[in-house]
Amino acid sequence: MTGLTVQTGAQFSAILGIGGYRPRRVVDNAEICTYIDSSDEWIRTRSGITERRWASEDETVKMMSLAAARKALERAGVEPGQIDTVIVATVTHLHQTPAIATTIASELGATGAAAFDISAACAGFCYATAMADSLVRSGASKYVLIIGVERLSDLTDKHDRSTAFIFADGAGAAVIGPSTTPGIGPVVWGSDGDQAGLIKQSEPWNRAMDGDNFDDGDPHWPVLQMDGNPVFKWAAYTIAKTAAEAMDAAGVRPEDLDVFAPHQANNRITDAMFRALKLPSDVVIARDIINHGNTSAASVPLALETLLESGQAHSGQTCLIIGFGAGLVYAGQVIILP
């Protein structure tokens, strides 16, 4: 029997550039309170959110993805034609098939790149980071473009008190490629399907579009439903342990960390994790949720872009990222900022 030829890639990988796109329309808490019985004070104190962005008609999943990707490529100094894999993390590309990643690869000029979407909700960007790191180090790819993008406003019931003030829209992208030094630590990830019902689409599309399934006989556009309180407890306690494991796996102690950029789900969850991880007070914490709400797969790269653009964080710093959400799914790793 002849042995197979196998390939190996770069010894290390790193994030080479990050870019984001935020929709133009700012929706403040006063507007939200015209849809639900709530108050600016309740929303700010319980979640940290003061405003969020909702996409307009032209700000499609594709448009936002392309804008974020072009910025990430330019900052990475990588040409679209050098990208050999495109991974898009999203739960709001409303076509079952084809994946949006193939169109994005073509429109960017990443001709012939392998391209596919993943559905890992608010952990999507961290899942994609782990996959890109593995592809680069295995030799299957040299440069991978990953995108986290959502138009959650398409699947949000604006009159639902438990979700209307949280969900928002946007896109964040990163280029991952070979590096002479380690730039992405081992991923700690997993899932808990026993809790799949805590955050979910109300009905599958076929059921939702058939009025016979509803008392009023009308089709019902499906929406995201969330049982917030158990999700809050799971995120604040269980996921903090995952974050600690990601630091251990990378050999990073709390005093070695410069930046903490968790999924932007709720400022109180971020605070609880920060306390559980016993991070020093000078660690910079991402607070993108205040102005941008929860953008699911886009939230970590958007938060990173905000920190880098504002000068709160810098290239070469050590940063813990962690995503968690519907599934339930989670993934975290330590990265070196581009």
Binding-site ranges for ligand COA (CB under 6 A): 36, 38, 42, 46-47, 122, 161-162, 165, 226, 228-229, 231-232, 235, 265-266, 269, 294, 325
Catalytic residue among 29, 126, 263, 292: 263
Q: Which residues contact 182 (CB under 8 A, 6 or more apart)?
A: 12, 14, 336
Count the neighbouring beta carbons within 10 Å of the beta carbon of residue 109.
13
Cα distances (angstroms) measured from residue 206 to each of 131, 193, 276, 284: 32, 23, 43, 45
**Shortest gap between Cβ of 280 and ligand COA (angstroms)?**
25
Cβ-based nearer residue to ligand COA, 17 or 325: 325
Cβ-based nearer residue to ligand COA, 195 or 213: 195
Rounded CA gap, 57 and 218, in Å? 25
Cβ-based nearer residue to ligand COA, 193 or 311: 193
122 has catalytic annotation: yes
Q: Which has the closest alpha carbon to 155: 125, 118, 198, 200?
A: 200
**Shortest gap between Cβ of 177 and ligand COA (angstroms)?**
29
**Shortest gap between Cβ of 226 and ligand COA (angstroms)?**
6
The 3 state secondary structure assigned to 197-214 is: HHEEECCCHHHHCCHHHC
Cβ-based nearer residue to ligand COA, 235 or 247: 235
Residue 3: what residue type?
Answer: G
294 has catalytic annotation: yes
Rounded CA gap, 122 and 198, in Å? 14
The 3 state secondary structure assigned to 151-167 is: EHHHHCCCCCCCCCCCE
**Shortest gap between Cβ of 39 and ligand COA (angstroms)?**
6
Cβ(202)–Cβ(226) under 8 Å? no
Cβ-based nearer residue to ligand COA, 219 or 228: 228
Cβ-based nearer residue to ligand COA, 171 or 226: 226
263 has catalytic annotation: yes
Cβ(254)–Cβ(279) under 8 Å? yes
What does DSSP assign to residue 251?
A: T
Q: Which residues contact 236 (CB under 8 A, 6 or more apart)?
A: 268, 269, 272, 273, 276
The two structure tokens encoding residue 27: 């929706």
Catalytic residue among 122, 266, 267, 292: 122
**Shortest gap between Cβ of 178 and ligand COA (angstroms)?**
32
Catalytic residue among 29, 266, 267, 294: 294
Q: Is the preceding omega at residue 4 within 30 degrees of 0, hence cis? A: no
**Shortest gap between Cβ of 229 and ligand COA (angstroms)?**
4
Residues serving a catalytic function are 122, 263, 294
